[in-house]
Amino acid sequence: MVETGTNPGWAAGIGQRSRVKQLAWALKGAPMRKKDLRLSALAGIAEARKLRDKVTALMTHADADPADAMVLCIFAEPDLSALVPEIAFIPVKSGASDLALVTRHPDKLPIGFLVFVWDRADPQKSVFGHVRPLIVEDPRGIEMNTRALHAYTRRIENRLRENGSIPDQQS
């Protein structure tokens, strides 16, 4: 009889990390969409709400605060000529705020979602983010999503440094 143990790669790598970090890597590893999904603003916010509810459930299952995760919806001009500077933050609880987001972007195209997870236990690398593009057949859509991810990651990290939640490593 062959005795099987734990996967040595798992035990040496991500298996030693916190459950929140494991969740962040699992979310990041989701397969990328293969075809464009062109949604109206209302349908985009509805999809973002479904993703937010899924992330909330996963955070709760990992014994973490669901507020330590963020889901944002990225909008662009319908012809993909420019990003809309305001990114729609999807709160943990659904409600009238979802409709308010739709009314701010009635004629814009949702091009993707940003998902961030904050691991409070790791001060060195505590914010994990990834993008889930909706527009993948046009390279501009993926490039716009990536730009939004980098810009918003810096913004989140700067806010956490300013309020003292993570140490300032830049000095």
pLDDT in tens, 39-96: 999 999 999 999 999 999 999 998 889 998 999 999 999 999 999 988 888 888 887 8
Q: Containing H/E element for 89?
A: strand 88-90
* Rounded Cα distance, 15 and 21, in Å: 10
Residue of 136, 111, 113 whose CA lies nearest to 53: 113
How would you classify the pairing of strands 109-118 and 69-76?
antiparallel
Residue 114, φ and ψ in degrees, nearest 5: -105, 135
For 126-169, give the DSSP string: -EEEEEEES--SSHHHHHHHHHHHHHHHHHHHHHHHHTTSS---
**163: pLDDT strictly greater than 80:** no
**How distant is the alpha carbon of residue 160 from its chain centre?**
17
Confirm if 76 and 144 have CB atoms less than 8 A apart: yes
The end-to-end CA distance of the chain, in Å, is 57
Sequence-separated (6 or more) residues with CB below 8 Å from residue 123: 166, 167
**Which pLDDT band holds residue 167 (cuts at 50, 70, 90)?**
low
